[in-house]
Chains A and B, each alone.
Chain A
Amino acid sequence: MDELLEILNDINPDIDYMTETNLIDGKMIDSFSIFKLIDDICETFDIDIGPKWMRNENFNSVHAMWDMIQAIQNEDE
């Protein structure tokens, strides 16, 4: 989780990621930042986030992202 927080803070350090649950719907992460976020997550966690995972609910909070990462890792195993 710390590595994920580091990635997010790199995109925008002014957000309290532990409590925020509206990152995409609230337009805090825009369409240009999302690709950097996805690239960084893929590289750090050695996963591939395919289009089926690209849904607001998977990126609206750090916890949702963490659950998605775990789900992809489990799927890959």
Chain B
Amino acid sequence: MNVLDYLQNNARLYPQKTAVAFRDRRYSFSELNSTAARLGTTISKNKKNDSVAVFASRDAETAVLFFAAVYADCFYVPIDPDMPIEKICSILEDCKPSVVLGTEAVRELYASTGHSGMFLTLDDLSDTPASTPYVNADSPLYMVYTSGSTGKPKGVLKSHGAMISYIEAYCSTFDFSSEDIIGNQTPFFFDASAKDIYLMLKIGATLEVLPTEMFTMPPTLIEYLNERKITFISWVPTALSIVIRARTFSYIVPQTLKKVFFVGEVMPVKYLNKWRETLPELQYVNLYGQSELAGICCYYEVTGDFPDDAVLPMGKVLKNCRIYLLDGDTVITENDRTGEMYIVSDALALEYFGDPEKTAKSFLIKDFGNGPVRCFRTGDLAQYNADHDLVFVSRADFQIKHMGHRIELGEIEAVAGSLAEIDRCCCTYDKKKEQIILYCVLQDGFEELTGKQIQSILRPKLSSYMLPSRIQIMDTLPINANGKIDRRALQNG
């Protein structure tokens, strides 16, 4: 099966219905399908390999460009047009696309990279639509670049089969319908956006791309959600938190929203509780995934009460995945014992592009008791709680040895983040100086507090060896292109 089967099915069922919209530009399912197929023909005539880079601007056209690459039997590589030119060059150099897609607005930007691939836009449509290419489950569909630990972006290549495995499992777990209108927040060069795009494709829903600048002015954002009758959002927690910080709900509340999902980082419960107090009838779900698999692998529907300082579980495993917690070689089944998470799933990525060594290190063949299977070593530490829900503990990389103790930096962040005085925080470890450093943004009304005072407040709440030796008060925490706290920027000062 090909993901284009979903698109063609919707073009038959709902030809005139809006598939994707950005402000006043709308593509119906029929238009999305036919335009992508016609550009697909042009790509096929000009391609010299299977990689097609797409400047993934925030607009409706980007979805057309993605599927045009798929029609040409290629995999697409979304690129953030606003990232530094050196990074764009580095990605183009790595995936070597012979065809690059974008809008007229990025033609000059692309020219400045000096890359030799042919640049095509929606002005280059052929009169003849491409036929649906034959693919199998392992045929590559798209590749996203994520920040690598070396500073060089790494490409994670995912297949048609992986995406189909995920989206079928996701849609059979939650109550989505073609009547849903999805409010997309995550940029198209960010892997989390694939959840929105393929949800639209699978169920025939409408995908409304929300203008970025509205996230700066949350009241106008909520007005826009109401105007566009958005029923479902799957946002990074930072975006949901911003709505609360701006005291938006004292002025305007979402009127058509039914489901609020969050993914990509830890959702601060103090902000989630404000959403739930104002809109208790909505469904709230915490999602957990990895760039190395299509979509997500765990979900937790928030139903009970959680105190503001609680950490939400990752919850249950999506039905297309199996998760094993390993302590050494022992598979953990009991509660409250920490182990590293391994994922077994048809949704796993194919490889780190062009890096067999790294691929072999992370994608392993392992026997968990039922014979050897392909799995992904996540590098995340987790436990089962009393309800046998998975609970994130920390990144294995964030586990440090300090003063003879094994410490999870995530635990320090969770305790500090629960303080009324702290809005957001991030903890790092300076190996050379053997110092735990806490960077924090203070809540309104506590701006006068010093690092020393925060340290005193933390002292009774943390073991002495876990107490940060340096606390740096920040106006904001640096955010990377994916909207997450940029730990590397903090560590590099």
A and B associate in one complex: yes
Q: Which residues of A contact B (CB under 8 A)?
A: 24-25, 27, 29-36, 39, 43, 50-52, 54-56, 59
**How many B residues have CB within 8 A of the partner chain?**
23
Interchain CA distance A36-B242 in the complex, whole Å = 12
Asked if residues B219 and A52 are in contact (CB atoms below 8 Å), the reply is yes
Chain A residues in 8 Å Cβ range of B477 = 32
Chain A residues in 8 Å Cβ range of B250 = 50-51
Q: Which residue of A lies closest to B216 (CB)?
A: A31
Asked if residues A25 and B213 are in contact (CB atoms below 8 Å), the reply is yes
Q: Is residue B217 contacting chain A, with contact meaning CB distance below 8 A?
A: yes
Asked if residues B216 and A29 are in contact (CB atoms below 8 Å), the reply is yes
Chain B residues in 8 Å Cβ range of A56 = 213, 216-217, 220
Interchain CA distance A50-B219 in the complex, whole Å = 10
Q: Which residue of A lies closest to B445 (CB)?
A: A39
A57 to nearest B CB, angstroms? 9
A51 contact from B216, B247, B475, Cβ within 8 A = B247
Interchain CA distance A56-B223 in the complex, whole Å = 13
CB-CB under 8 A for A31 and B215, given A50-B247, A50-B250, A52-B251: yes
Asked if residues B217 and A24 are in contact (CB atoms below 8 Å), the reply is yes
Interchain CA distance A5-B217 in the complex, whole Å = 21
Task: Mark each residue of chain B from 195 to 230: 1 if its CB lies under 8 Å from any CB of chain A, else 0.
Answer: 000000000000000001101111110000000000
Chain B residues in 8 Å Cβ range of A30 = 216
Task: Mark each residue of chain B from 224 to 260: 1 if its CB lies under 8 Å from any CB of chain A, else 0.
Answer: 0000000000000001001001111011100000000
Q: Is residue B444 contacting chain A, with contact meaning CB distance below 8 A?
A: yes
Asked if residues A51 and B213 are in contact (CB atoms below 8 Å), the reply is no
Interchain CA distance A52-B247 in the complex, whole Å = 10
Q: What are 9 A-B contacts defined by CB distance under 8 Å?
A: A27-B213, A31-B239, A34-B216, A36-B475, A50-B251, A52-B219, A54-B218, A54-B219, A55-B220
With contacts A39-B447, A51-B248 known, what are 12 further pairs, Cβ within 8 A?
A31-B242, A34-B216, A35-B242, A36-B476, A50-B247, A50-B250, A51-B219, A51-B247, A51-B252, A54-B220, A54-B248, A55-B219
A35 contact from B212, B245, B479, Cβ within 8 A = B245
Chain B residues in 8 Å Cβ range of A32 = 476-477, 479
Chain B residues in 8 Å Cβ range of A55 = 217, 219-220
Chain A residues in 8 Å Cβ range of B252 = 51
Q: Which residue of A lies closest to B249 (CB)?
A: A51
Interchain CA distance A24-B216 in the complex, whole Å = 8
Chain B residues in 8 Å Cβ range of A27 = 212-213
B444 contact from A31, A39, A51, A54, Cβ within 8 A = A39
Within residues 449 to 493 of chain B, which ones have a CB less than 8 A from any CB in chain A?
475-477, 479
Q: Which of A25, A29, A54 has the most CB of B within 10 A?
A: A54
